[in-house]
Structure 1
Amino acid sequence: MVRDDLYITVPTLFRCPISLDVMKSPVSLCTGVTYDRSSIQRWLDNGNNTCPATMQVLQSKEFVPNRTLQHLIQNWSDSAHSPVESPPSLDQLQDLMKDLRTKTENSNNNSRTLDSLTKIVRFAKESEENRNFLAKMDGFIVTLLEFLGNAGGRECRKFDFLEEVVGLLDLVLSKFEDHQQLTKTMLKSDRDCLASLLLVLQHGRTDSRIASARVLETIANDAESKLLIAEKDGLLSETLKLITPENDPALIEAGLSCLVQISMPKRVKAELVHLGTIKTLVKLVSDSNSSVTVTEKALKMLETLSSCKEGQWEICENGGCVAAILQRVLKVSSSATEHAVTILWSVCYLFRDERAQEEVARANGLTKILLLMQSNCSPSVRQMSADLLKIFRVNSKSCLSSYDTKTTHIMPF
């Protein structure tokens, strides 16, 4: 067993929900949630208008010092002789794992189990080497999956413990070499791991919801796993909530990455279209405040959905969608350009939708396509642009009726 005097256990109440460190200057928002002043100030300065823990829209961005909690933290710090915990050593980690497995089997002391797990999380966060060590440790992943699989099938009485498990899985799963075995264990066993991940998506902190989306992305490594994840009741719709434009950018990125990974099967694409994904994606693409990464991933998702008839129809039916995509053809990134052009090529050239073609013309899309062809674009983008120009050349109302796509001259408009 591990000696208790080797560690200083930090009460969960003393940790900032954003940084997870002991709060130095706790302040409370109008929602009643307390954060470390520097963490919440940075959150608000980045333009966010929600409470990170509850995602409620803030009626006021003012916060007040939580003097009572600050005194409690100070008294605890003085008595513990140290406000910061040190990660366990490798020898201590081995003892912690034995302790954790014993508690898993007996499952009597949830508080002590959480303490052991929290110390392992600190160890994982310390370095890449530590994460590799944990991923290769015999029985480590299996133990975590036992915790995860047993939590989702009933009311989770220790939700903070479940969040720690999901966060730790996010840290180490990418280092686990046998992804097929991992997927089989999580998705094809009698343990309901997906139910636990869904629970975290629904009720977890921002960082825990990000971790849950990343875990789902990691295990969606073949067609069967993608379908199993997508067909879990409520999971797709809950993942879509992550990409709401008002959310934290990191949460949006994690949600988009997860959706891109699981959306390849045709049935999944159709369901995502049915759930209104395209409207949300158009909002992200249209938002001038969206980061380059978010824009790229949103366009990638639109490209994926444009490859099915339901997605093509919805893109053409959704007024302003084509125009929003055209706005991102240039001046974002080469990846964004390729995704945007592929979508336009799909709806205008393959699907031959007249509404999309007319919207391209109204939005001065032909000029952008011509400019794109004169740029240092990839061969595939150049070919798709040429195909698009052929569509508009046959239109007698277009000034391109005599344009030769082999020339490098851009005609004036």
Structure 2
Amino acid sequence: MAREKRRQELYVTVPSLFRCPISMDLMNSPVSLCTGVTYDRSSIEKWLALGHNTCPATMQTLLSTHTTPNLTLRRLIQLWLSHADVTQASPTSCISKQQAAEIVVAGEFDADSLEKVIGFLTASKENLNFFVAQSSAAVSKLVEVFANSDQIRICELIVEILDLISPENGVAERLADLILQSGDGGDCLSSLAMVLQKGNIKSKVKSAKILEMIAVIKPQSHRKIAEKPGLLYELYILSTVEIDTSAVEASLSALIAISTTRLVKKELIRFGTVRTIGEILSGSDYSAPVRGVVEKALAMLETIATCTEGRGAICEDGKCVVEIVKRLMKCSGVATEHGITVLWSVCCLARDRVAQEKVRLVNGLTKVLLVMQSDCSANAKQMCGELVKVLGAKNSKSNLAPYETRTTHITPY
């Protein structure tokens, strides 16, 4: 009996490369998506069966749901298993369930104990489930320490733990409530702002994801998040990190989720978000990791373009309109529809002549025609039709001037 109890408390730390990004368990049959990310076959097939058309790890829209067996990784896993001792684990790499529970109950978190908890959570899906089963006590303790700590390392580690447990059933809602309710003697939003300002890039990305999660679950939180001193600005600054596309994408995703009021949009415009997005679009290539950034950048512009000040800022910027036209049908269908919406906002809704002329000068009319004949949504086709009328109105010398929306063929440019 004692031997069995001891066996249950010992774990092998599975290399992160061998764990499925969805289940966090060792992959039995690793397969890769078109994005290059590898998952366990059973996990990704369940994800796709639910109707998802995105890569779970990167949230990129999938051009194809076909999976390819990753034979090299499978051989590496088999080789590792043949040499791994599955009954023992290094005492420094993982702790037992009892030790994890004791750390949570004590609630006296220091860097060492938090690192042990992270090692415990990442060791296996079973460990994560065990920890989440105590979520009522564990999450409350973690949020309390996070709200009251002024030590950046402690806050970074807690952010990592919260990011690990938040996808589990019911934890995100509980976590959002606790973070928004904090304030007596501590403030979680201020701690998140501190991590965004002083933390390492990994913890900044996780902080942005937590803020996005809160904004999605609790729409009433948007004003509170936006009004927290420094928080919105630090999120914007994260979008300017050129060396890390994951940071830019996480920042833009969070800003899109928060930017539901005109006040927030005006503040982002004041920071220089339109200019920053213009630089992102002009500097991005079309590789898989960058596609997500381009999609989010255009979605952010679409959000900003819903207010008068936003449309004005886009029209005044020297790069945005031109770069949007260049991105049409070059990245993804989602990005193209975001781009069409922005162009419609400035050329048709705002009737800005400068923007209209910029679109014409970069062959925008032809590209809009091509988009209209692609497999885009009905709303996008309608906006394309209105753009054609506006852009072709002063192009009397062009044979495209009398174009009708019923046309069925356009010569590619």
Judging changes above 3 Å, is the alpha-carbon distance between structure 1 residues 130 and 387 closer, same or farther for their aligned structure 2 residues? farther
Aligned twin of 1:43:
none
Q: C-alpha displacement at 1:411, in angstroms?
A: 6.4
| 1:88 aligned partner | 95
Map 1:234-273 → 2, pairs under 5 A: 234-273=230-269
Over 3 Å counting, the alpha-carbon distance change for 1:215 and 1:412 in structure 2 is closer
- Counterpart of 2:299 in structure 1 is 300
1:398-409 pair list within 5 angstroms? 399=398, 400-409=400-409
Taking structure 2 as the reference length, the TM-score comes to 0.72
In 2, Cα distance between equivalents of 1:363 and 1:84: 63
Q: 1:214 is matched with which residue?
A: 209
Deviation at 1:266, TM superposition (A): 1.7
Q: In the alignment, which residue of structure 2 is the partner of 1:374?
A: 373
Matches within 5 A, 1:13-412: 85-98=92-105, 100-101=106-107, 103=108, 113-137=110-134, 138-151=136-149, 156=150, 158-175=151-168, 177=170, 179-190=172-183, 191-220=186-215, 221-289=217-285, 291-395=290-394, 397=396, 399=398, 400-410=400-410
Distance 1:248 1:193, change over 3 A: same
Give me the identity figure in percent. Answer: 41
Q: State whether residues 95 and 120 of structure 2, in contact with CA within 8 Å, keep that contact through their aligned partners in structure 1.
A: yes
Offset at 1:372? 1.7
Task: Give the C-alpha shift of residue 131 in structure 1.
Answer: 3.1
Q: Aligned to 1:327, what secondary structure does the other structure show?
A: helix
The 1:396/1:257 distance shift into structure 2, 3 A limit, reads closer
1:160 partner amino acid: R
Greater CA drift, 365-374 or 294-303: 365-374
Segment of structure 1 superposing worse, 389-398 or 270-279:
389-398
Which residue is 2:58 aligned to? none
Q: Specify the code of the residue in structure 1 equivalent to 2:363.
A: N
Q: Structure 2 vs 1, CA of residues 411 and 294 (structure 1 numbering), >3 Å: closer, same or farther?
A: closer
SS in 1 for 2:166: helix
Letter in 2 for 1:402: P
> Does the CA contact (< 8 Å) of 1:245 and 1:283 recur in 2?
no
**Unaligned stretches of 5+ in structure 1?**
1-5, 8-18, 20-81, 105-112
Give deviations 1:85-117, integer Å, cap 9, x for gaps: 33223233223322x32x36xxxxxxxx33222
In structure 1, distance between residues paired with 2:241 and 2:193: 21
Relative distance call for 1:84 and 1:292 in structure 2 (3 A) is farther
Distance in 1 (alpha carbons) for counterparts of 2:111 and 2:406: 67
Residue identity opposite 2:354 in structure 1: R
**SS in structure 1 at match of 2:127:** helix
Query: Structure 1 residues 127, 280: closer, same or farther in 2, change over 3 A?
Result: farther
- Deviation beyond 4 Å, 4+ runs, structure 1: 178-181
- Report if the CA contact (8 A) 1:392-1:398 is conserved: no
Deviations 1:4-37 (A, max 9, x none): xx99xxxxxxxxxxx9xxxxxxxxxxxxxxxxxx
- Change beyond 3 A, Cα 1:398–1:233: farther
* CA apart distance, 1:129: 4.5
Q: Deviations over 1:330-368 (max 9, x none)?
A: 121111111111111111111111111111111110111
Q: CA deviation at 1:176?
A: 5.1
Contact residue 274 and residue 313 of structure 2 kept, 8 A? yes
Alignment check: 8 A CA contact 1:135 1:173 kept: no
Q: Distance in 2 between matches of 1:205 and 1:131?
A: 24
Preserved contact between residue 281 and residue 294 of structure 2 (Cα < 8 Å)? yes
Q: Which amino acid aligns with 2:374?
A: S
Which moved further from structure 2: 235-244 or 167-176?
A: 167-176
Q: CA deviation at 1:375?
A: 2.2
Shift of 1:398: 5.3
For the aligned residue pairs, the C-alpha RMSD in angstroms reads 2.8
Deviation at 1:409, TM superposition (A): 2.9
**Structure 2 unaligned residues grouped into runs of 5+:** 1-8, 11-16, 18-88
**Deviation of 1:309 (Å):** 0.8
Structure 1 pair 179/165, CA: closer, same or farther in 2 (3 Å)? Answer: closer
C-alpha distance in 2, partners of 1:384/1:118? 52
SS for the counterpart of 1:139 is: helix
Separation (CA, whole Å) in 1 of partners of 2:174 and 2:128: 19
Aligned partner of 2:285: which letter? N
Instruction: Tell me the number of residue pairs that the alignment of Structure 1 and Structure 2 aligns.
Output: 324
SS at match of 1:174: coil
Contact 1:370 1:410 in 2 (8 A): yes
Contact 1:197-1:212 at 8 Å conserved across structures: yes
Q: TM-score, normalised by structure 1?
A: 0.72
Q: Is the 8 A contact 1:316 1:322 kept in 2?
A: yes
Q: Deviations over 1:295-345 (max 9, x none)?
A: 111111111111111110000011121010011111211111111111111
Q: Deviations over 1:130-153 (max 9, x none)?
A: 3344333131110010011112xx
8 Å Cα contact 1:206/1:251 also seen in 2: yes
